Amino acid sequence: MQNSVVSLFLCLILITAAAAQNAPPEPPTVAATGYLLIDLDSDMVLAAKDSDQRLEPASLTKIMTAYVVFHELQSGSVKLGDEVLVSEKAWKAPGSRMFIEVNKRVTVEDLLKGMIIQSGNDASIALAEHVAGSEEAFANLMNDYARRLGMDNTHFVNATGLPDPDHYTTPHDIVRVTEATIREFPEFYKLYSVKEFTFNDIRQHNRNNLLWRDDSVDGVKTGHTENAGFCLVASAKRENMRLVSVVMGTASEKARLSESQSLLNYGFRFFETHRLYGANDNLTRTRVWMGEDEQVSLGLAKDLFVTIPRRQYDKLNARTEIQPLIEAPLAKGQKVGDVIVELDGQEVLRRPLVALADVAEGGLWRKAVDSVLMMLE
């Protein structure tokens, strides 16, 4: 009895100590070849395993296929109402299909729905051929956009995700194109939350079953081949916090759902995201030497978000480090220091502190006076 009381007492001490630190627990164990959980706004990684390992993406590829088409729609090169003549190659596409017919015309809008909702390989090829003339040329476009997004461990050879030794990506790279889609094309991103689509009198369901299990989930894409295993990119928003998870190489359709749900629940349960400063907010001012103006306002080029363990906001502190002796000419957006955010004394992120206005060179008199003053500094 005495040992039981001592054991209970020790457990209470440990629980109390953990609660006092308010440290989040370790992430859940995820049965996947590689995975990643990230906050969209702060870009902070909350859980990861082999997130930069090159893996076969299967139909996660279609996130990039859609992203390229969205850019073409935005530029006006392609329109939703365009009628696409279905080629024999598209019609014969193996794997998942939306059941388009050869030599029939289908609108870009319907093809997008068939690709995003039903994961149709036939729709993916038809869109690629319409945009670039051939699937091979379209893959070059995909790789161009991948480079622009910093997807350094990605290479595409097709628009579908059908297996190829030179077709690969990573969980981290897939997050990059997913985040870009959500930020740049919010109206088109809504397609990923559509639960079903009827084409040619065939009713087709979205393969992302998380849309039915979790109301906060509004995307994104499933994938599966024998080599890739079962994959899923999921995104969910609860209150003002949006998380993106990627699981690649799970053992079953059920596993990719449960593992994704586990990651999302972990992130929302134990973390919170705060917007600390807005883009172009005047955070401080500093002296500019040799310029028409003696001072310039400093701030951030982009909104600054931070993701931290829950109930730790009062332990946040932000400070600036400014370069000494800043001289004109100074361009708006030019880095002159850093904004450092600390949690309980530990640095959690650092962002460039930039000039919020141009400062031109001063005249001869200003330069002469400042030269003397600088020597006295």
Concerning whether 7 is annotated as a catalytic residue, the answer is no
Name the 3-class secondary structure at 149. coil
Count CB-CB contacts under 10 A for residue 266: 21
Give the E-state strand segments of 167-213 in sequence order. Answer: 196-199, 202-205
- Tell me the C-alpha to C-alpha distance, in Å, between residue 45 and each of 237, 257, 269, 337, 366: 16, 20, 15, 24, 48
In the set 42, 51, 59, 262, the catalytic residue is 59
Element (H, E) at 108: helix 108-116
237 catalytically annotated = no
Phi and psi at residue 131, to the nearest 5°: -75, -45
Nearest to 261 by CA among 231, 224, 236, 230: 236
Rounded Cα gap, residues 246 and 232, in angstroms: 6
C-alpha–C-alpha distance, residues 24 and 269, integer Å? 9
Instruction: Give 118: exposed, middle or buried? Use CB within 10 Å, 0-12, 13-18, 19+.
Output: buried
Catalytic residue among 62, 113, 221, 260: 62
CB-based contacts of 313, cutoff 8 Å, min separation 6: 272, 274
The Cα–Cα gap between 332 and 358 comes to 5
Q: Is 59 a catalytic residue?
A: yes
- Cβ–Cβ under 8 Å, residues 222 and 240: no
Identify the three-state secondary structure at position 131: helix
Burial 184-200 (b: 16+ CB within 10 A, else e): ebeebbebbbeeebebe
CA distances from 228 to 56, 119, 174, 322 (A): 5, 16, 14, 48
How many CB atoms lie under 10 A from the CB of residue 209?
18
- Cα(255)–Cα(209) distance, rounded to whole angstroms? 12
Query: Considering 42, 51, 87, 119, which one is annotated as catalytic?
Result: 119
Closest residue by Cα to residue 162 from 104, 222, 102, 228: 228
Residues serving a catalytic function are: 59, 62, 119
